[in-house]
Structure 1
Amino acid sequence: MKVESALFGVIGSFFAMMCLIYGFWSYWDEPVGTVGFALGAALCFMISFFCWWTGRKTDLRPDDNPEGEIDEIEGDYGFFSPYSWWPLYLGGAAALMFIGLAVGWWLVILAVPLVALASVGWVFEYFRGDDAI
Structure 2
Amino acid sequence: MKVETWIFGVTTVFLVLVSPAYWFITDADNQCGEASCADWTGTSALVMTTLLCAMVTLYLGFHARRMDARPEDLQDAEIADGAGELGFFPPYSWWPLWCALTLGVMVFALAVLAWWLFIIGIVLGALAVSGWIFEYYRGDYAH
* Cα distance in 1 between the residues matched to 2:59 and 2:142: 41
Residue in 2 that maps onto 1:92: 101
Cα distance, 1:11 vs structure 2: 1.7
Change (3 A) 1:126 1:9: closer
Contact 1:63 1:73 in 2 (8 A): no
Contact 2:71 2:81 in 1 (8 A): no
Return the match for 2:88 from 53, 57, 78: 78
Q: Deviations over 1:19-74 (max 9, x none)?
A: 12210122163323222211211221222122223222322112213444276154
Q: Does 1:120 align with 2:130?
A: yes
Identity in percent: 32
Structure 1 unaligned blocks of 5 or more: none
Q: Does 1:24 align with 2:24?
A: yes
Residue in 1 that maps onto 2:111: 104
Equivalent position SS for 1:78: coil
Equivalent position SS for 2:52: helix
Change (3 A) 1:78 1:106: farther
When structure 1 is superposed on structure 2, of 62-71 and 115-124 the one drifting more is 62-71
Equivalent position SS for 1:75: coil
* Cα distance in 2 between the residues matched to 1:124 and 1:4: 33
Taking only aligned residues, the RMSD between alpha carbons, in angstroms, comes to: 3.6
Structure 2 unaligned blocks of 5 or more: 28-35
Contact 1:87 1:122 in 2 (8 A): yes
Change (3 A) 1:126 1:16: closer
Q: Residue type of the partner of 1:60?
A: A
TM-score, normalising length: structure 1: 0.69
